[in-house]
Structure 1
């Protein structure tokens, strides 16, 4: 992975066989990012995404292997209990044009991933919300 910072914007290239969430964390910690938005595209060959069942307050994971193009990767970097926290969603399409997605648990790059991290001046922490069963923004 390589990246370059331009004021409050980071342009990153995540390379073949690297895991996206690990690389985002590396950048965020190195650059001391407390709040940012993320968008990316690229190619992956091994990913796991989750779907949250509200009535059960539980995530269910789906894993995929093969040739996939990232149709959309979007989310946030912020903090929970003043520690690094990242929340990303991924949609990826296969050779037939079928798209699968959800809450990103893992994604391994097969060719490259081009990412833009837009740093926001500020800080928004998270807190666990008992009613919905998720970590939500705390203002």
Structure 2
């Protein structure tokens, strides 16, 4: 991975074999990012995405292996209990144009991942919500 910061924007290049969430965390901690929006594209070959069932308060994971293009990777970097927190969603398409996606649990880069992290001036923490079972934005 390599990256460069331009004022309120960080451009990241992730390389073959790197796991996307690990690299996002590494950049965010090194650059002391506490609030940002994230978007990316690239190619992956092994990923897990989840779909949340609100009634059950449970994620269902789906694993995929093969050649996939990232159609969309979007989300936020923020904090929970003043520590790093990241919430990303991924859509990825295969060679037939079929797209699969959901909450990103893990994704391994097969060629490259080009990411833009747009820093937001401020801080938003997260707090567990009993009703939904999710860690939601908390505006103190």
Q: TM-score, normalised by structure 1?
A: 1.00
Unaligned runs of 5+ in 2: none
Counterparts of 1:88-107 in structure 2, within 5 Å, are 88-107=88-107
- Runs ≥4 residues deviating over 3 A: none
C-alpha offsets along residues 5-63 of structure 1, whole Å, 9 cap, x if unaligned?
A: 00010000000000000000000000000000000000000000000001101000000
Which residue of 1 is the match for residue 11 of structure 2?
A: 11
- Determine helix, strand or coil for the equivalent of 2:123: coil
- State the SS of the aligned residue for 1:23: helix
1:121 aligns with 2:115: no
Measure the CA separation in 1 of the matches of 2:32 and 2:12: 16
Paired residue for 1:64? 64
SS at match of 2:50: strand
Instruction: Tell me the TM-score normalised to structure 2 length.
Output: 0.99
Q: How many residues align?
A: 139
The gaps in structure 1 that reach 5 residues or longer are none
